């Protein structure tokens, strides 16, 4: 991986972390940001070039991360793919499905890797659960609550936060969404800042997902129920508890065993970046393909449409 020439476009809050990971495991050439001071600061930190333009950057690299606002992902990824550069695009993949389909087809046509940064797939707890191969869950519930930050305001809380849990629901269950009911409200911005979705999958399984970007205390949790076991994931505490029928006993519940599982140490972004570079080298499948990124986006747009239907109903009533 050290031989791959890499760069990051957009080095705000998240892009700087991408650049740090590339510096550690590849030949980081440099960064580009429309804010030259920001680019210069990150380039100085990591000992790389602050490129004067996107075109100058693309001429020097094999693979990039795109961590600009969502509204610019399609334009930046189009330029990169046309220049023959592999792309890891931050989530949400794009603003709409037409952009997502366009990029998916373009990447296939030019034969370059196009991955989407659904980073919770790389969370040590989720990786551990996937490795155990428990099959499709019957019921999932998730809470993803964050304090307000003046970032990602080009998108609503569904595209900003809930999309992580929609993606995990689809990925863990291997199913398509069948029905979506949702409520949501704008609190601080002109878009939904809080939402709750009740989603049915083809198998009949159900996911109940809550997201907010206007709370005081952050929470990122998911509970996943199968026929005879239940997993509780605390993404922030990096903790995975597994409760299963049989074996030992949980006080007060006979015949039920509980364990806190040991998790791999490697952090999620490092895992995601290494996976992307492994895919560029043809050694592994990307953790989240453009197709899967499009499916998560479609689910998020479905929730948004359900929220709009709910709000119209309230107005009409």
Q: Which residue, 32 or 230, has its beta carbon nearer to ligand NAD?
A: 32
The reply on whether position 55 binds ligand NAD by CB under 6 A is no
The reply on whether position 314 binds ligand NAD by CB under 6 A is no
Residue 51 tokens, joined = 């490129």
The reply on whether position 10 binds ligand NAD by CB under 6 A is yes
Which ranges constitute the DSSP H helices of the chain?
A: 13-25, 36-46, 54-58, 70-82, 97-110, 124-132, 157, 163-173, 268-280, 290-316
| From 62, 90, 244, 292, residue interacting with ligand NAD (rule: CB under 6 A) | 90
Q: Among all chains, which residue has been given the structure tokens 């505490």?
A: 237
Q: Which residue, 37 or 262, has its beta carbon nearer to ligand NAD?
A: 37
The reply on whether position 36 binds ligand NAD by CB under 6 A is no
Residue 194 tokens, joined = 């809080």
The reply on whether position 34 binds ligand NAD by CB under 6 A is yes
Restricting to residues 162-191, name those near ligand NAD by CB under 6 A: none
* Per-position x/- string for 137-156, each x denoting binding to ligand NAD as judged by CB under 6 A, each - no binding: --------------xx----
**Cβ atoms 86, 230 nearer than 8 A:** no
Q: Which residue, 13 or 245, has its beta carbon nearer to ligand NAD?
A: 13
Query: Minimum CB separation from ligand NAD for residue 39, in Å?
Result: 8
| From 114, 119, 197, 222, residue interacting with ligand NAD (rule: CB under 6 A) | 119
- Which residue is closest to ligand NAD by CB? 12
Residue 301 tokens, joined = 């747009």
Contact region with ligand NAD (CB under 6 A), list: 33-41, 55-63, 290-298, 308-316: 33-41
The reply on whether position 35 binds ligand NAD by CB under 6 A is yes
Query: Minimum CB separation from ligand NAD for residue 289, in Å?
Result: 16
Q: Give the residue from 230, 220, 126, 107 showing the smallest Cα distance to 172.
A: 126
The reply on whether position 117 binds ligand NAD by CB under 6 A is yes
Residue 41 tokens, joined = 């600061």
| From 69, 79, 241, 258, residue interacting with ligand NAD (rule: CB under 6 A) | 69
The reply on whether position 91 binds ligand NAD by CB under 6 A is yes
Residue 179 tokens, joined = 């029905």
**Cβ atoms 141, 221 nearer than 8 A:** no
CA distance 37 to 130: 41
CA distance 26 to 232: 35
CA distance 85 to 82: 7
| From 7, 33, 288, 299, residue interacting with ligand NAD (rule: CB under 6 A) | 33
Q: Peptide bond preceding 92: is omega within 30 degrees of 0, i.e. cis?
A: yes
Q: Kindly tell me the number of DSSP H helices and DSSP E strands found in the chain.
A: 10, 14
Q: Which residues bind ligand NAD (CB under 6 A)?
A: 9-15, 32-35, 38, 67-70, 72, 76, 90-91, 117, 119, 151-152
């Amino acid at each position: 991986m050290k031989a791959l020439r890499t760069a990051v476009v957009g080095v705000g809050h998240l892009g700087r972390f991408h650049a740090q990971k590339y510096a550690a495991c590849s030949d980081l050439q440099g960064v580009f940001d429309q804010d030259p001071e920001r680019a210069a600061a990150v380039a100085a930190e990591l000992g790389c070039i602050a490129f004067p333009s996107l075109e100058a950057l693309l001429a020097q690299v094999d693979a990039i991360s795109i961590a600009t606002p969502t509204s610019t992902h399609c334009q930046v990824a189009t330029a990169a793919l046309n220049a023959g550069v592999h792309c890891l695009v931050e989530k949400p993949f794009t603003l709409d499905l037409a952009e997502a389909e366009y990029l998916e087809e373009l990447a296939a046509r030019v034969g370059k890797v196009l991955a989407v940064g659904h980073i919770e797939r790389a969370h040590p707890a989720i990786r551990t659960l996937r490795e155990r191969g428990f099959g499709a869950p019957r019921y999932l519930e998730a809470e993803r609550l964050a304090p307000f930050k003046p970032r990602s305001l080009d998108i609503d809380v569904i595209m900003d936060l809930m999309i992580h849990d929609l993606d995990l629901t689809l990925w863990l269950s291997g199913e398509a969404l069948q029905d979506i009911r949702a409520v949501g409200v704008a609190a601080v911005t002109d878009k939904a800042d809080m939402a709750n979705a009740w989603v049915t999958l083809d198998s009949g399984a159900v996911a109940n997902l809550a997201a907010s970007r206007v709370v005081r205390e952050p929470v990122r949790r998911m509970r996943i129920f199968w026929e005879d076991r239940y997993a509780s994931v605390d993404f922030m505490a990096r903790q995975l508890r597994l409760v299963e029928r049989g074996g030992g006993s949980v006080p007060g519940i006979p015949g039920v065993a509980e364990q806190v599982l040991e998790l791999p140490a490697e952090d999620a972004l490092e895992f995601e970046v290494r996976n992307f570079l492994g895919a560029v080298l043809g050694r592994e499948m990307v953790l989240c393909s453009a197709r899967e990124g499009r499916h998560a986006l479609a689910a998020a747009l479905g929730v948004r449409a359900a929220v709009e239907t709910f709000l119209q109903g309230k107005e009409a009533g």
